[in-house]
Amino acid sequence: MFGLGYLLFAPVLCAEDASVEYKIKAGYLYNFTKFITWPEERNPTFNICIIGKDPFGSIIDPIEQRTAMDRPIKLVRAEHYDKSLDCQIVFFGHLKELPIIKKAVLTVSDTQDFASLGGMVSFIKKEGRIKLRINLQAIKSSDLEISAKLLEVSELINGNGHD
């Protein structure tokens, strides 16, 4: 899987190559486990949930050979978000409205305006690259701690779509 440094300075992404785009996004999902701190949990696995349409397909499957916070990573795919899924990261494949999410769950999507609508991290295409837009208000209201290194390389908004 990619290191964060590679992802941040990756070559220009060709718009036609969706598999490369989703490999980069999968790399980001994995690297979030290194740059975000979750409260201590007793769960045997670190769950990354993909909700709705799964744009990754098998590209993301190798992530299950990795660990996060000394626990094996488990991918969970579901049509709808349900609090019983016990996710640490939730990627929404397509979203009309952000469901109520319990604290200490990182919400991520590439749906347009996701961070502006209350999501925590949006994947955005800018200058031919995949970039991050982080909603600081959403992060601050959760029990998550985000690394300054991740904030430095992200576009930051305050929760209502403004810098």
Q: Is residue 108 domain-resident?
A: yes
Specify the pLDDT at position 162: 45
160 pLDDT above the threshold of 80: no
Q: State residue 103's pLDDT score.
A: 80
Residue at 62 is within a domain: yes
CATH at residue 9? 3.40.50
Question: Is residue 49 pLDDT above 60, yes or no?
Answer: yes
* Residue 162 located in a structural domain: no
With 60 as the cut, is the pLDDT of residue 155 above it?
yes
For residues 118 and 99, give the distance between their C-alpha atoms in angstroms, rounded to a whole number: 10
Question: In sequence order, what are the beta bridge partners of 46?
Answer: 73
Bin 108: left if φ > 0, else alpha if -120 < ψ < 50, else beta.
Answer: beta
For residue 7, what pLDDT is reported? 44
Output 24 or 128, whichever has higher pLDDT: 24
Lowest mean pLDDT among 61-65, 96-100, 110-114, 145-149: 96-100
- Classified as helix, coil or strand, 87 is coil
Domain that holds residue 39: 4-157
Q: Which segments of 1-149 are extended strands (E)?
A: 36-37, 46-51, 67-68, 71-78, 89-92, 106-109, 121-126, 129-135, 145-146
CA distances from 16 to 11, 21, 70, 162 (A): 14, 9, 37, 30
Note whether residue 57 is domain-resident: yes
Q: How many domains does the chain have?
A: 1
Residue 83 lies in a domain: yes
In a domain, 61, yes or no: yes
User: Is residue 52 predicted with pLDDT exceeding 80?
Assistant: yes
Residue 68 lies in a domain: yes
pLDDT band at 134 (very low <50, low <70, confident <90, very high): very high
Tell whether 97 is covered by a domain: yes
Give the residue among 2, 10, 1 at the shortest CA–CA distance from 153: 10
Confidence of residue 1 (pLDDT cuts 50, 70, 90): very low
Nearest-5° Cα angle at 75, 117 to 37: 60
Q: What is the pLDDT of residues 60-109, one digit of tens each?
A: 999 999 999 999 999 999 999 888 888 999 999 877 778 878 789 999 99
